[in-house]
């Protein structure tokens, strides 16, 4: 398929994940998701209130999913991680959500590094640990392959892309799986208004070209996001579309930007897609086509 003909997936990350702070309640998540889907998004990523116990959290995530899919059956939804001490606890909601029919993608972040903040002297601060080991990611991939749920694979650094490509080559990824290429911005994702030391390559055309060179021969769709800055104000967004990629927007990733709504970020993405001249994935068939599920 020619790049100009490939439907664009617009993902909206609608709920900030802030240290020691609650996120939107169920009603707020449903409202924000519906607004973004009505504006043209096809994928919704959302976080729950991590203060909830595990069973409460799973029930809440499923309730949000059912409400949103009731209004927008074509949508692809996926959650953040559960609270926990290890990868298995972080991923304990994925199988129940898949069995409830509300898991559009299963998020997998194999060996992902946690972003840092910078202190008043400009020095990195925080623990800087790695979560979601290759072992946990492999178990999630196997469980989702069995249930036919595609993965959205977080690529924070090149090693995560190598993991995805190895799984693709081994034929162990569920149909419709995609990679999320996260680039690094300037602002903290946790402490609003503060500078951060984020993961990822800089948001430049050359950096995207590096990833695309690594992906030569791969059929995995690639969704581009920018952590700690506005993707649509960078040169990366248009270039990603011109090279056949997809976009992740929403207030979760903006960091220091205030006064912008989720829906406004989707509308801005829609305007950019129109300028590039590609269609937007607005139906389930178009979403499947963009994810490489439909055969010619």
In a domain, 205, yes or no: yes
How would you classify residue 207: left for phi > 0, otherwise alpha for psi between -120 and 50, otherwise beta? alpha
**15: domain range?**
3-22+103-290
Question: How confident is the model at residue 295, as a pLDDT?
Answer: 36
* Number of domains into which the chain is organized: 1
Nearest to 178 by CA among 287, 286, 75: 287
Strands (E), 61-141: 76-79, 106-108, 112-113, 116-118, 124-125, 130-131
* Separation between Cα atoms, residue 93 and residue 132, nearest integer Å: 14
Q: Are 34 and 12 in contact (CB under 8 A)?
A: no
Provide the CATH number for the domain around residue 232: 3.20.20.70
pLDDT digits (tens, 9 = 90+) for 26-77: 999 999 999 999 999 999 999 988 788 999 999 999 999 999 999 999 999 9
Between CA 238 and CA 232 the distance in angstroms is 8
What beta strand segments (E) does 156-194 contain? 178-184
**Does residue 44 lie within any of the structural domains?**
no
In which residue are the tokens 């994925």 written?
94
In degrees rounded to 5, what are phi and psi of residue 145? -60, -40
Q: Global pTM?
A: 0.92
pLDDT at 296: 33
Measuring CA to CA, which residue among 200, 208, 216 is closest to residue 237? 208
pLDDT score at 284 = 86
pLDDT, position 193: 74
Domain membership flag for residue 63: no
Q: What CA dihedral angle connects 211, 131, 177 and 164, to 10 degrees?
A: 50
48 inside domain: no
Is residue 32 in a domain? no
Domain contains 67: no
| pLDDT of the residue at 112 | 67
**Which uninterrupted H or E stretch holds 197?**
strand 196-197
227 occurs within a structural domain: yes
Q: What angle do CA 184, 212, 141 make, to 5 degrees?
A: 80
- With a cut of 70, list the residues of the chain below it in pLDDT: 1, 17-23, 112-116, 126-131, 256-258, 294-296
Residues in CB range of 234: below 8 A, 6 or more apart? 183, 203, 226
Structural domain contains residue 224: yes
């Amino acid at each position: 398929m020619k790049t100009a003909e490939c439907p664009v997936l617009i993902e909206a990350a609608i709920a900030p994940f802030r240290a020691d702070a609650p996120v939107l309640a169920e009603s707020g998540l449903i409202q924000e998701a519906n607004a973004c889907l009505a504006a043209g998004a096809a994928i919704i990523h959302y976080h729950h209130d991590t203060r909830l116990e595990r069973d409460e959290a799973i029930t809440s995530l499923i309730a949000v999913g059912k409400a949103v899919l009731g209004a927008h059956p074509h949508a692809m939804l996926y959650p953040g991680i559960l609270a926990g001490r290890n990868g298995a606890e972080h991923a304990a909601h994925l199988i129940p959500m898949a069995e409830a029919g509300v898991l559009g993608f299963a998020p997998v972040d194999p060996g992902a590094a946690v972003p840092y903040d910078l202190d008043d002297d400009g020095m990195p601060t925080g623990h800087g640990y790695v979560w979601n080991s290759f072992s946990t990611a492999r178990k999630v991939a196997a469980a989702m392959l069995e249930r036919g749920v595609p993965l959205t694979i977080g690529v924070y650094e090149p090693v995560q892309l190598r993991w995805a490509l190895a799984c693709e080559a081994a034929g162990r990824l569920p149909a419709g799986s995609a990679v999320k290429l996260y680039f690094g911005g300037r602002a903290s994702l946790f402490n609003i208004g503060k500078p951060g030391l984020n993961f990822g390559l800089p948001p430049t055309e050359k950096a995207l070209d590096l990833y695309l060179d690594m992906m030569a021969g791969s059929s995995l769709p690639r969704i581009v996001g920018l952590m700690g800055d506005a993707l649509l104000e960078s040169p990366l967004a248009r270039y990603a579309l011109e090279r056949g990629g997809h976009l992740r927007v929403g207030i979760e990733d903006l960091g220091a930007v205030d006064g912008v709504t989720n829906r406004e970020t989707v509308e801005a993405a829609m305007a950019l897609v129109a300028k590039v001249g590609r269609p937007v994935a607005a139906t389930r068939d178009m979403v499947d086509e963009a994810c490489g599920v439909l055969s010619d």
